[in-house]
Structure 1
Amino acid sequence: MTSDTAPASLPAPAAWLGYGGALPFVSLAALCWLAAGHAGFWFGLLLVYGAVILSFVGALHWGFAMTLPGLDATRRSRMMAWSVVPALLAWPAVLLPAAPGVATLLLGYLLHYLQDRRLCRDVDLPSWYLPLRRHLSLAAGISLLAGVLALQA
């Protein structure tokens, strides 16, 4: 199944789109610090972007459930059910105060990464998938933490 340590060559579109999607995280976190007078505004954008992306990665499992060969009906149903959990965490995260909102998103990213690891043990996904997801989840998490710390500085 998919290796978490030795990825095959990452396709250019996945690299550009994946790491390009990390740029708003990093940029908004930096703006929270560099434009401290408007940190609340930049943090709000960062939190909402984090929620949108968490919802997006959850939807990956819906797509896998629809397309992966060899899954039984129970496994497909469980994957579809899981796929909505990140969105259900992301939605209230944007309504909570800053620190609990970030904690909720971080929990969502962690849980989804653990689900990705489980999936990669059981099915044949490209070997670059899990390392890419790990890198992007770390970029999101570190950025969200940096943003909330800027609010408290």
Structure 2
Amino acid sequence: MLKTNFSYAVLLTLAGAIPFLFCGGLVLLYPVDSPLAIQALIAYGAVILSFVGAVHWGFVLSRPESSDTAGTDKRSLGLGVLPALVGWVALLVQLRFHLPALALLFLLAGFLLTVIAETVGHGRGVVPSSYLILRWSISVIVMLVLLAVLVALLAGMRTG
């Protein structure tokens, strides 16, 4: 059963990468027509960043309560909120100030810092190995897309 669940999780993770790849591809291949694709990429990135943060609440709430893990649990719950806040700031930066490059930078930082914190959490026994492997795999794809679009914006390919 565990193998089947992990296989399904891999499939859904790959499906979740489609909007990143699609929007990023539109921006890079059709820069003149890409303002909506950039907005969609930023919005989807913020949503997914919130999702990966929420997973940590599931880790904490699925474990039996123990005074040995109280400090770690509080950090994990905090980590669960921070990615959503970073995603929200990225959305505000794009919607209010029309600064897509800055919004992409916030998202890049959010994804990178979250996966680094998860790696630390794995070392402390809080984050399962299978989850960490999946997260690093998809995070690399997501961060490469966000970075490529950011570089394109900064290089003047298009003016978001």
What's the TM-score once normalised by structure 2's chain length?
0.82
**Distance change >3 Å, CA 132–CA 9, structure 1 → 2:** farther
In the TM superposition, what is the alpha-carbon distance from 1:75 to its structure 2 partner?
2.0
**What is residue 23 of structure 2 aligned with on the other side?**
28
Taking only the aligned residue pairs, the percentage that are identical comes to: 36
**What is residue 73 of structure 2 aligned with on the other side?**
76
Query: Is residue 9 of structure 2 the alignment partner of residue 14 of structure 1?
Result: yes
In the TM superposition, what is the alpha-carbon distance from 1:138 to its structure 2 partner?
1.1
Task: Indicate the structure whose relative CO is greater, using CA pairs within 8 Å and at least 6 residues apart.
Answer: 1
**What is residue 100 of structure 1 aligned with on the other side?**
102
For 2:75 and 2:142, the matched residues in 1 are separated by 26
**What is residue 61 of structure 1 aligned with on the other side?**
56
For 1:115 and 1:127, the matched residues in 2 are separated by 14
- 1:9–1:128: 8 Å Cα contact kept in structure 2? no
For 1:62 and 1:10, the matched residues in 2 are separated by 19
For 1:112 and 1:124, the matched residues in 2 are separated by 14
* Structure 1: stretches of 5+ with no match in the other structure: 1-7
In the TM superposition, what is the alpha-carbon distance from 1:33 to its structure 2 partner?
2.1
1:103-142 per-position Cα deviation (integer Å, ceiling 9, x unaligned): 1111111111111111111226543221210111111111
AA partner of residue 55 (structure 1): S
**What secondary structure does 1:123 align onto?**
coil
- 2:105–2:150: 8 Å Cα contact kept in structure 1? no
AA partner of residue 121 (structure 1): G
Higher mean alpha-carbon deviation, 114-123 vs 32-41, is at 32-41
1:112 to 108, 111, 114: 114
RMSD: 2.0
**What secondary structure does 1:128 align onto?**
helix
In the TM superposition, what is the alpha-carbon distance from 1:10 to its structure 2 partner?
8.1
- 1:43–1:148: 8 Å Cα contact kept in structure 2? no
In the TM superposition, what is the alpha-carbon distance from 1:144 to its structure 2 partner?
1.2
Query: Is residue 83 of structure 2 the alignment partner of residue 86 of structure 1?
Result: yes
* Structure 2: stretches of 5+ with no match in the other structure: 94-98
1:45 to 12, 25, 40: 40
